[in-house]
Chains A and B, each alone.
Chain A
Amino acid sequence: MSNVDVVVTGLGATTPLGGDVSSTWDALLAGRNGIRTNTADWVARYDLPAHLAATLAVEPTEILPRVQARRLDRCEQIAVIAAREAWADAGFAIPTDEHEPVDPDRLAVSIGTGIGGPVTLLDQDDILETQGLRKVSPLTVPMLMPNGPAAHVGIEMRARAGVHTVASACASGAEGIANAWQMIQNGRADVVIAGGAEACIHPITVAGFCQSRTLSTRNDEPERASRPFDVDRDGFVLGEGAGVVVLERADHAAARGARVYAKVSGYGMTSDAHHITGNHPEGIGQIAAMANAVRLAGLTPTDIGHVNAHATSTVVGDVGEAAAIRKALGEHVVVTAPKASFGHLVGGAGAVESIITLLSIYYGTIPATRNLERIDAKVGLDVVTGEPRKVELAAAINNSFGFGGHNVAVLFTAA
């Protein structure tokens, strides 16, 4: 069991459903769709089979000052936007020389990403090819590096206890939160700004995912394309977004009278050692991740009322996860799969979905899974459909898995 109580005191996000947490949450509860036709000219130019994308509801350049926006890759922009929201939501002001709301030596950042800034990398490569060295931006490297999002947040919030970036593909956001929890356990920090971000919608990433046959090609029906656990699912929809939470030592939060959303009570983190993109057929890594999270929290599987599933809407992945949930926790858990509404946010997914998980505890409401019209008989779980489910939750798990065989389960409990 953990030695130190760690709580969540601030939330921030920008997603295909909304430019902040409340608009995202409200849209999710209302069953709104964040998946759109990808109108970029390159879809036709390269004859890409997938014509869908879950692009941000609010363009980051509408939020950030122009000069700051041009110095940041899109992935960095959305990490900064989500971090500012989370920081303010936790009750902190932006630090100045006169006022530092958290001791910088006790403040850290842990923001993961799957790829970082590939769009900058590729755009600047084009500039080098067509216009030569002089026109390559001097900001190229700091914009493309995957630690850029965490570093920019660390500079703005004055975090001197360490700024870290994990890259575990689609598990990055959840692993960012798990690592932050561990930093507080280890005594390295009292407050950690944690989460994940991704903005990698580009012809080459879409082409690559198309070639690995992982994207939905339900091009005529964007709103019905992402359908986790449904018999007619045919792949995920690539999205973009960021989620950031403020994790805080419970006594630190109590001393300043902070509002507490939930407690982070544990996590499980395993690796499949099996295949670079495919799940282990028996789900051993996923099962162990959930079981380890329960054990670390000092709970038993029957205590877990809800799982926010990774379920990306792929044929193999969804039923594999469902089987792992049944084995690790039992058939009693109530499940939802929010990628049906906002697609797959890659490195942002585990963070945004952690926020949804802990809000489900906080509000006693589990959002429904859109598009689940005929549940795959192999799922064997109670997946919320239609209307949100009102249910009091003591403990819930967010699952996030990634290419590479990464399995992360983060366990939240009621504050």
Chain B
Amino acid sequence: MSEKPSDAEILEGLAEIVEEVAGVAPDDVTADKSFVDDLDIDSLSMVEIAVQAEDRFGVKIPDDELANLKTVGDAVNYVAKNV
């Protein structure tokens, strides 16, 4: 990406990835939602989501960081900080 994306753009991009991988409606992908508890995403899908997010935003998400991304908001903040 040429410019740093805004938080809203990151959220929108994540929502598209989550829909593609796990079939969650984009409107349900909001900052306060837990990937596991609220969106019913399993650990296998989280790996796919992380790889797609890396490609889309040009960030690295190592496994020990991925484990800390409990909510969609956590993921948005991580991407915003590391992009």
Contact = CB atoms under 8 A, between A and B. Distances in A.
Given A66-B23, A67-B22, A67-B23, A139 B51 contact: no
Most buried by B among A138, A139, A142: A138
Interface in B27-68: 43-45, 47-48, 51, 54
A137 B51 CA distance: 10
A137 B48 contact: yes
A256 interface: no
A374 interface: no
A138 B44 contact: yes
A257 interface: no
A171 to B, nearest CB: 33
A134 interface: yes
Contacts of A135: 51
Contacts of B47: 138
A65 B23 contact: yes
A61 B19 CA distance: 17
Interface in A122-162: 134-135, 137-139, 142
Contacts of A65: 23
Contacts of A67: 21-23
A139 B23 contact: no
A142 to B, nearest CB: 8
Interface residues of B, number: 10
Interface in B1-23: 21-23
Contacts of A137: 48
Contacts of B51: 134-135
Contacts of B43: 138
A137 B50 CA distance: 12
Interface string A62-79: 000111000000000000
Contacts of B22: 67
A66 B19 CA distance: 10
A135 to B, nearest CB: 7
Nearest to B48: A138
A134 B48 CA distance: 9
A142 B43 CA distance: 13
A135 B47 CA distance: 10
Contacts of A134: 51, 54
A96 B74 CA distance: 32
A270 to B, nearest CB: 41
A364 to B, nearest CB: 46
A86 B47 CA distance: 34
Interface string A256-274: 0000000000000000000
Contacts of A139: 44
Nearest to B21: A67
B55 to A, nearest CB: 9
A135 B22 CA distance: 17
Contacts of A142: 44
Nearest to A65: B23
A101 B20 CA distance: 33
Nearest to A139: B44
Interface in A326-343: none
A305 to B, nearest CB: 50
A142 B23 CA distance: 19
B69 to A, nearest CB: 16
Interface string A229-264: 000000000000000000000000000000000000
A63 to B, nearest CB: 16
A135 B55 CA distance: 11
A181 to B, nearest CB: 35
Contacts of B54: 134
A134 B66 CA distance: 14
16 contacts: A65-B23, A66-B23, A67-B21, A67-B22, A67-B23, A134-B51, A134-B54, A135-B51, A137-B48, A138-B43, A138-B44, A138-B45, A138-B47, A138-B48, A139-B44, A142-B44
Given A67-B23, A134-B51, A142-B44, 13 more contacts: A65-B23, A66-B23, A67-B21, A67-B22, A134-B54, A135-B51, A137-B48, A138-B43, A138-B44, A138-B45, A138-B47, A138-B48, A139-B44
